[in-house]
Amino acid sequence: MHKSTTRNSCKKILILAAASLLAAPSFTLPAAHAEQTSVSASSSAAEASTATPEATDGVSAASEPAVESVAEPATDTAPATGGTDAAAAGQTATPATSTTKPATPSTTKPATGTPTTPTAPEPFYDIAKDPNRDAIMTLYNEGVVKAAKDRKFRPKAEIGRSDFSVILGRAMKANGSIFDVYFTDPIPDWAIRYVGGLSAAGVYEGYLEKGDKFGPKLPVTRAEAAAMVARAAHLESQPLPEGLGGVGNIPVWALDDVGAAYAAGLIEVTSAGTLNPNKKVTRSEMAAMIAPLLEADAFMTPIKIEEDITLP
């Protein structure tokens, strides 16, 4: 009796258990495990999202130094050595060396061709319109006359005996000796040797006798200038044409020499139709008398000098 009751109880329990199992909707152990896993994953994701700022900051702090230490040296060394490819190929890149030479002074030669020569100023600015300009320039080019500081030749001015003697003496190279000077009045040092040279050559013969005064500052007349130039060039004496105005006013000692100068074209009649022999000769007229003979080498053989002097 007791055993049957126990058996019946066990059967009821089994039946109730089976019924309970059949009545449950979908209660299975795998499903429950999956739900638990999903909840765990969600929880982990939440925790990860909470920790993301700290992880991001840590990466940037760690990666930025790496970028600087790798990228920046590559940028600096690439232009200098060009060694990026060499390093990739396993080659050893040599450091760049400077081959720039120090700057040297420029030795560039000027362009070839005809160089432009600056035009020299005229030695005398007051002779541009003078009719005897070419004669004056001949004397200048031959060193017979020299340019003054004011660049004036003064072509219309009178000329004194000392100046005339120096210019004529230079033309004939008659730089003589002071012992050939017999004049009693003082003569400037820059002119005395030329006066001596002309005296020795007989240029003053009859014009200024020994013992007379020279008169260095006295102006020279047209007749005196023509006669002295003709004598210095050894021109042959010539008679003057009859009827020529002014002949009667020519000194006797100069008459034939003035005729020679007139025949050579060194002295011409004035606009009034006369030689006007006693008119003071101008510096321009003096140049017109001397320059043609200088160009023709007509002056006498140079006189030997004993001692040179410096002239102004």
Of 12-21, 50-59, 134-143, 177-186, the range with the highest mean pLDDT is 134-143
Q: Report the distance separating Cα 285 and Cα 279, nearest Å.
A: 11
Can you give the pTM of this predicted structure? 0.59
13-17, 31-35, 177-181: segment of lowest average pLDDT: 31-35
State pLDDT tens for residues 140-155.
999 999 999 999 999 9
pLDDT at 16 exceeding the cut of 80: no
Higher pLDDT, 101 or 137: 137
- What CA–CA distance (Å, rounded) separates 146 from 136? 10
Residue 39 has what pLDDT?
41
Q: With pLDDT > 90 as the criterion, what percentage of the chain qualifies?
A: 43
Domain ranges of the chain: 158-295
Q: Please, is 196 exposed, middle or buried when counting C-beta atoms within 10 Å of its C-beta (0-12, 13-18, 19+)?
A: buried
Tens digit of pLDDT for each residue in 259-292? 999 999 999 998 888 999 999 999 999 999 999 9
pLDDT at 23 over 50: yes
Instruction: Report whether pLDDT(35) > 60.
Output: no
